Amino acid sequence: MAIAAAIIASAPLSAAPSGPASIAEHQRQCAGKDGWSDPAPPVRIFANVYDVGSCGITVLLITGSTGHILIDAATVQAVPSIIANIERLGLRPTDVKYLLTTHEHVDHVGGLHAIQQRTGATLIASAAARPMLESGTPASDDPQRGTIPDFAGARVGRIVKDGETVALGSLHLTAHLTPGHSPGGTSWSWTACAGKSCRRIVHADSLSAVSADDYRFADHPAYVARLRATIAKVATLRCDLLITPHPASSNLYDRLAGKAPLIDSKACATYAATARQNLGQRLTREAAAIKRR
């Protein structure tokens, strides 16, 4: 009887989940939550591409036979759940070899330093993004400077140019420099295959014209021109499957749940068209405010 009691006492109350979560589990855990650091279970997006981020921030894990690539790291508060998600997929965090980024704001890269310490991975970024990623301070010409908190900087080990490929074994991701939402914004494209079904994936950076309260885009025509050029560039990217840093911006979870098409060859063009319209509306509001004075 004593032996039986010891066995019962030592048995786990419930087995820890393993493997990617169903979208139903993800939606249950994230119901009413879309914060930067709200823990979410990992979900498979397509083939070897997983979202291991928080309820409100996409953190992409792209797995390969010789190592894995992580795009973004959410906040430092989200890092424990990101690491737990990687381990839930049966993978070792130290097998993450490269860290990539979309843009240098705390909600997307605040956890980079901690992730880099845990994995030992090399951070790859554009020359424009490097100063902010290493200092942890938004650029002086960032429209959101003053409203975006600083973060712990991470060491950049390699600079990537526009159109350059980052290769890790069979993984080949192409960098597209897309400044505008931030000065160092970068989008990524690659092809992933599930058996004979292959999809062109684009992880497009944020294109929204948001700023600090005292910032007017109309006062910065060169910056507006840069954002317009980026929007036009994203519109031309060939993509079957669009992913964005904020999953809500591309309706990712509803698409994974089958409430909207996951695959759409016009997704990048539609995403860009919405951004173009929003920028125009922002400039119109600014012009109207000036006239009222």
Q: How far is CA 225 from CA 218, 222, 280, in A?
A: 10, 5, 12
- Give yes or no for residue 265 having a pLDDT over 60: yes
Between 136 and 9, the more confident residue is 136
- What is the rounded CA–CA span in Å between residue 181 and residue 290? 23
Q: Does domain 23-291 have CATH number 3.60.15.10?
A: yes
| Mean pLDDT, all residues of the chain | 94
pTM: 0.93
> Which phi and psi (to 5°) does residue 21 adopt?
-80, 155
Considering only 7-16, 56-65, 110-119, 221-230, which range has the smallest mean pLDDT? 7-16
Confidence of residue 290 (pLDDT cuts 50, 70, 90): confident
- What tokens does 169 get? 């074994």
- What is the rounded CA–CA span in Å between residue 289 and residue 293? 7
| pLDDT tens string 212-242 | 999 999 999 999 999 999 999 999 999 999 9
| pLDDT tens string 22-50 | 999 999 999 999 999 999 999 999 999 99
Arithmetic mean of pLDDT, 52-80: 98
- Give yes or no for residue 3 having a pLDDT over 80: no
DSSP labels, 217-280: GGG-HHHHHHHHHHHHHHHHS--SEEE-SSGGGGTHHHHHTTSS-S--TTHHHHHHHHHHHHHH
- Give yes or no for residue 82 having a pLDDT over 70: yes
Say what the pLDDT of residue 201 is: 98
Nearest CA to 153 among 120, 129, 187, 178? 129
DSSP labels, 55-92: SSS--EEE--TT-EEEE--B-GGGHHHHHHHHHHTT--
SS3 93: helix
- Give yes or no for residue 13 having a pLDDT over 70: no
SS3 132: helix
Nearest CA to 272 among 241, 240, 216, 228? 228
- Give yes or no for residue 289 having a pLDDT over 50: yes
Neighbours of 90 (CB within 10 A): 10
Do 181 and 208 meet the contact criterion of CB atoms below 8 Å apart?
Answer: yes
Residues recorded for the chain: 293
Task: Enumerate the β-bridge partners of residue 123.
Answer: 99, 156
- Give yes or no for residue 12 having a pLDDT over 80: no
- Give yes or no for residue 253 having a pLDDT over 80: yes
